[in-house]
């Protein structure tokens, strides 16, 4: 196979050199289309375009054509309304469908080499402050990187068809499934294949193949696959996020090879790689150092000359230059390889009328998703009382969906009366995560308690997120009477010297509903002669409920009720 | 609601950690992915694993349209029934 340098892909056509298929595309046709697009863009005086194309071959045409015409290219991470709005002032034209691409073809420009420093690409990702950030790259940076990849793995991949489960819109997919195969003369599959079955079906159609995948897919490949048929895979690349050790181990067992993990970022491109558990090996063109905060600092041929990128990944670097990744130093998290800025989403939540304060964390279950701790505003509490928890969380998810992809929408919500901030006004991420894992409360929060002449008066806050509200009732949460009795009993047992056995209940009255977030007053008094606990709940001036609970010191049950066991909510 | 439909709805809720949604909130014919219930492709992967594990069936990886069975609860139930009978 003949390597064509990235900047020389449009110099002359090579008919018969495969690029992609379904429909088939060879290098000569790809070049023709790219030059036609270049002609069309130049004719229209376009200077800057944004590209979002699912078909990797079309993306290749669009990129090369734009660069040939001297047009700079922005690759937005998604097509969310907010994303389009944000970048729109910086581009003249959006190309998001093949019809839009083809409509631009005009008289082709002549073939020519591309200027390594003038051709530009911008990627979009979340910055550490939460603001989406734009990362500019030159063609030279990308050319250096694909050449390094070919040096490392080209011989072994040979004529493998490149099959990918990741989008070409991000740096990893762009380099590994589009630019590298284009230069190497390897064919690649146009579509991103999200499911293991699709990867298997397409793999079987090719005598030699390699996978450009991510942990989202690799950790979910099941026993239903024909592993012996897949084991000829030349190499399995994984990037975009951490691959769990068990997933790597399972692939090793089934395929007889460890997946090749690539560690990198949109800012830096590839930094290091490893195969199997162990330390990360930096790419040859990468120089690493460590900042005062312990973070990995990167200089490389894939970054602008002289630039040192200070990452937010804490590392331990060995004497031989290999390193171990420790932890993230900022509040950017990865969910299924998508970089999510927690501060950005928290700000978006706090911009909603119903939310006073919000903190987000990652809940790791079968799949990792975000969880939100919220302190509701008065209008938020009103919405919860009038419409229920589901309407509240659905509305907030809807609100957030303008700011992020569906994947980042919190799945778990915990409504708190206040955030447990330290005196410095901080809330450690570990505590946010712990609060998200905790079950919803079943007890009231006791704000104060006083005793006068044997009668206890307690001020109680009814947690807005009380577990009982979901079923009672889904759209109008009210505190169940049985829970009120249960609280009276358990608080009475804590504060008063009650006999051991529950005997029954008398003169129960429920007069007014108690709702999420209410602050109520509970009085508890024990009449030892009659062995009865008197309880009464009030909300402001209004009586909510009252009754007497009968206790028996022995088997001689008192009271008029037949109930022999305390009620359990 | 048939028992199998209800069980599959509960499986969806449990496997995907959905809060504030009960089986009665999911329609038999309601689209699960994208619009509709708002699940994404990672959910589809998770649900594929959960269905295979719970019902002891295997998704035929060589059939081209297996994922069509995942469009709603009714089609999933039909898929499970057919696989268990096979």
User: Residue A77 pLDDT more than 90?
Assistant: no
Determine contact, residues A558/A504, Cβ cutoff 8 Å.
Answer: yes
Of the candidates A147, A75, A70, the residue with the CA atom closest to the CA atom of residue A109: A70
Domains in chain B: how many in total?
1
Q: Is residue B73 part of a domain?
A: yes
User: Residue A561 pLDDT more than 50?
Assistant: no
User: Residue B51 pLDDT more than 50?
Assistant: yes
Mean pLDDT of the region A201-227: 94
The torsion of the CA quartet A375, A377, A381, A382, rounded to 10 degrees, works out to -170
The residues spanned by each domain of chain A are: 19-114, 341-433, 445-552
User: Residue A569 pLDDT more than 50?
Assistant: no
- Residue A30, CA distances (Å) to A37, A102, A201 in order: 11, 12, 26
Q: Do domains A19-114 and A445-552 have the same CATH topology?
A: no
Angle, alpha carbons A345-A349-A351 (nearest 5°): 115
User: Residue B33 pLDDT more than 50?
Assistant: yes
Q: Is residue B23 part of a domain?
A: no
Q: Is residue B54 part of a domain?
A: yes
User: Residue A126 pLDDT more than 70?
Assistant: no
**pLDDT interval class at A459 (50, 70, 90):** very high
In angstroms, the CA A370 to CA A407 distance is 9
Q: Which fold has domain A19-114?
A: Rossmann fold (3.40.50)
Give the closest-approach CA distance of B84 to chain A in angstroms. 15
pLDDT at site A488? 96
User: Residue A546 pLDDT more than 50?
Assistant: yes
In angstroms, the CA B4 to CA B7 distance is 5
Q: pLDDT (tens digit, 9 = 90+) per residue, A78-121?
A: 888 888 999 999 999 999 999 999 999 999 999 999 999 999 99
pLDDT at site A424? 75
**pLDDT interval class at A567 (50, 70, 90):** low
Q: Is residue B39 part of a domain?
A: yes
A196 neighbourhood in chain B, CB within 8 Å? 45, 61
pLDDT at site A402? 84
User: Residue A529 pLDDT more than 60?
Assistant: yes
For A390, the closest of B17, B20, B63 (CB atoms) is B20
Mean pLDDT of the region A292-299: 94
Q: Which fold has domain A445-552?
A: Thiol Ester Dehydrase; Chain A (3.10.129)
User: Residue A412 pLDDT more than 70?
Assistant: yes
B38 neighbourhood in chain A, CB within 8 Å? 397, 406, 409
A48-57, A68-77, A552-561: least confidently modelled range: A552-561
Are A366 and B67 inside 8 Å of each other by CB?
Answer: no
Q: Is residue B22 part of a domain?
A: no
Nearest CA in chain B to A388: B20
Mean pLDDT of the region A63-68: 98
For A412, the closest of B19, B43, B49 (CB atoms) is B19
Q: Is residue B47 part of a domain?
A: yes
User: Residue A127 pLDDT more than 70?
Assistant: no
Nearest CA in chain A to B13: A411
A225 neighbourhood in chain B, CB within 8 Å? 61
User: Residue A403 pLDDT more than 60?
Assistant: yes
B21 neighbourhood in chain A, CB within 8 Å? 390
Are A226 and B61 inside 8 Å of each other by CB?
Answer: yes
The percentage of chain A sitting over the pLDDT mark of 90, rounded to a whole number, equals 82
Mean pLDDT of the region A122-126: 85
Mean pLDDT of the region B55-78: 87
DSSP string, A433-463: HHHHHSPPP-S-EEEEEEEETTEEEEEEE--
Nearest CA in chain A to B21: A390
> Is B14 in CB contact (< 8 Å) with chain A?
no
Residues near B24 by beta carbon (within 8 Å), at least 6 away in sequence = none
A185-189, A204-208, A420-424, A542-546: least confidently modelled range: A420-424
Tokens, residue A397: 């998810």
Which residues span the domain enclosing B36?
3-17+28-85
pLDDT at site A563? 45
Q: Is residue B75 part of a domain?
A: yes
**pLDDT interval class at B77 (50, 70, 90):** very high
pLDDT at site A423? 72
Q: pLDDT (tens digit, 9 = 90+) per residue, A162-190?
A: 999 999 999 999 999 999 999 999 999 99
H-only helix segments in A91-223: 98-102, 139-157, 171-173, 180-184, 196-204, 215-218
What part of B 59-78 touches A (C-beta under 8 Å)? 59-64, 66-67
Are A412 and B43 inside 8 Å of each other by CB?
Answer: no
**pLDDT interval class at A562 (50, 70, 90):** very low
Nearest CA in chain B to A202: B62
A336 neighbourhood in chain B, CB within 8 Å? 42
Mean pLDDT of the region A363-390: 93
**pLDDT interval class at A1 (50, 70, 90):** low
Mutate to test the interface with B, among A204, A216, A224, A240 (most CBs of B within 10 A): A224
Are A223 and B58 inside 8 Å of each other by CB?
Answer: yes
Q: Which CATH architecture has domain A341-433?
A: 2-Layer Sandwich (3.30)
Are A411 and B19 inside 8 Å of each other by CB?
Answer: yes
Rg (CA), chain B: 12
Q: pLDDT (tens digit, 9 = 90+) per residue, A232-268?
A: 999 999 999 889 999 999 999 999 999 999 999 999 9
pTM > 0.90: yes or no: no
Are A220 and B48 inside 8 Å of each other by CB?
Answer: yes
pLDDT at site A337? 85
User: Residue A310 pLDDT more than 90?
Assistant: yes
- Flag whether the ipTM exceeds 0.95: no
CATH code, domain with B72: 1.10.1200.10
pLDDT at site B35? 73
Of the candidates A126, A121, A113, the residue with the CA atom closest to the CA atom of residue A168: A121
In angstroms, the CA A290 to CA A146 distance is 26
For A336, the closest of B22, B42, B63 (CB atoms) is B42
User: Residue A522 pLDDT more than 50?
Assistant: yes
Tokens, residue A126: 């979340």
In angstroms, the CA A505 to CA A272 distance is 70
Residues of A with CB under 8 A from a CB of B: 194-197, 200-201, 204, 216-217, 220, 222-226, 336, 363, 365-367, 369, 389-390, 393-394, 397, 406-407, 409, 411-413, 470, 474
B49 neighbourhood in chain A, CB within 8 Å? 220, 222
Beta-sheet strands, E only, within A43-169: 48-51, 72-75, 93-95, 120-126, 132-138, 161-164
User: Residue A298 pLDDT more than 50?
Assistant: yes
User: Residue A303 pLDDT more than 70?
Assistant: yes
């Amino acid at each position: 196979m003949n390597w064509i340098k990235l900047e020389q892909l449009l110099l002359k056509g090579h008919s018969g050199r495969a690029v992609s298929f379904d429909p088939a595309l060879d290098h000569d046709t790809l070049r023709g289309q790219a030059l036609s697009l270049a002609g069309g863009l130049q004719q229209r005086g376009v200077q800057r375009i944004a590209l979002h194309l699912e078909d990797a071959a079309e993306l290749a045409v669009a990129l090369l054509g734009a660069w040939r015409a001297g047009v700079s290219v922005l690759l937005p991470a998604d097509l969310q309304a907010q994303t389009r709005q944000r970048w729109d002032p910086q581009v003249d034209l959006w190309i998001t469908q093949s019809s839009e691409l083809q409509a631009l073809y005009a008289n082709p420009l002549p073939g020519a080499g591309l200027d390594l420093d003038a051709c530009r690409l911008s990627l979009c990702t979340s910055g550490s402050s939460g603001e989406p950030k734009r990362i500019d790259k030159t063609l030279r940076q990308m050319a250096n990187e694909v050449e390094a990849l070919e040096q490392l793995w080209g011989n072994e991949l040979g004529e493998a068809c490149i099959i990918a489960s990741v989008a070409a819109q991000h740096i990893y997919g762009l380099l590994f499934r589009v630019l590298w195969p284009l230069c190497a003369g390897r064919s690649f599959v146009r579509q991103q294949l999200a499911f293991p079955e699709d990867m298997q079906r397409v793999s079987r159609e090719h005598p030699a193949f390699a996978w450009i995948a991510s942990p989202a897919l690799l950790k979910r490949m099941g026993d239903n696959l024909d592993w012996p048929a897949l084991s000829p895979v030349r190499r399995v690349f994984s990037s975009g996020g951490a691959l769990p050790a068990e997933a790597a181990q399972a692939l090793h067992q089934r395929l007889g090879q460890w997946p090749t993990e690539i560690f990198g970022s949109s800012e830096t491109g590839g930094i290091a790689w490893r195969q199997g558990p162990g330390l990360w090996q930096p790419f040859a063109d990468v120089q690493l150092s460590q900042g005062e905060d312990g973070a990995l600092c990167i200089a490389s041929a894939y970054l602008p000359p002289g630039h040192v990128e200070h990452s937010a990944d804490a590392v331990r670097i060995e004497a031989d230059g290999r390193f171990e990744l420790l932890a993230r130093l900022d509040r950017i998290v990865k969910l299924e390889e998508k970089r999510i800025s927690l501060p950005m989403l928290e700000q978006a939540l706090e911009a909603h009328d119903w939310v006073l304060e919000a903190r987000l964390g990652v809940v790791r279950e079968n799949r990792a998703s975000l969880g939100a701790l919220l302190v509701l505003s008065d209008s938020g509490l009103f919405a919860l009382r009038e419409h229920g928890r589901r309407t509240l969380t659905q509305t907030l998810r809807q609100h957030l969906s303008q700011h992020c992809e569906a994947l980042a929408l919190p799945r778990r919500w915990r409504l708190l009366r206040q955030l447990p901030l330290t005196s410095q006004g901080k809330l450690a991420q570990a505590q946010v995560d712990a609060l998200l894992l905790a079950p919803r409360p079943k007890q009231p929060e006791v704000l104060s308690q006083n005793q006068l002449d044997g009668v206890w008066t307690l001020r109680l806050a009814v947690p807005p997120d009380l577990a009982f509200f979901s079923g009672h009732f889904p759209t109008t949460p009210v505190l169940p009477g049985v829970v009120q009795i249960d609280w009276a009993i358990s608080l009475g047992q804590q504060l008063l010297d009650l006999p051991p056995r529950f005997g029954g209940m008398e003169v129960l009255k429920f007069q007014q509903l108690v709702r999420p977030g209410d602050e109520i007053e509970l009085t508890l008094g024990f009449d030892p002669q009659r062995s009865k606990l008197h309880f009464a709940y009030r909300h402001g001036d209004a009586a909510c409920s009252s009754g007497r609970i009968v206790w028996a010191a022995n088997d001689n049950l008192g009271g008029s009720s037949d109930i022999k066991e305390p009620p359990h909510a | 609601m048939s028992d199998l439909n209800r069980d599959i709805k509960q499986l969806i809720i449990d496997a995907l950690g959905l809060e504030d949604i009960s089986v009665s909130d999911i329609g038999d014919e309601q689209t699960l992915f994208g619009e509709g219930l708002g699940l994404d492709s990672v959910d589809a992967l998770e649900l594929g694993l959960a269905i295979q594990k719970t019902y002891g069936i295997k998704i035929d990886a060589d059939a081209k349209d297996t994922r069509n069975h995942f469009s709603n609860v009714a089609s999933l139930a039909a898929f499970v029934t057919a696989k268990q009978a096979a």
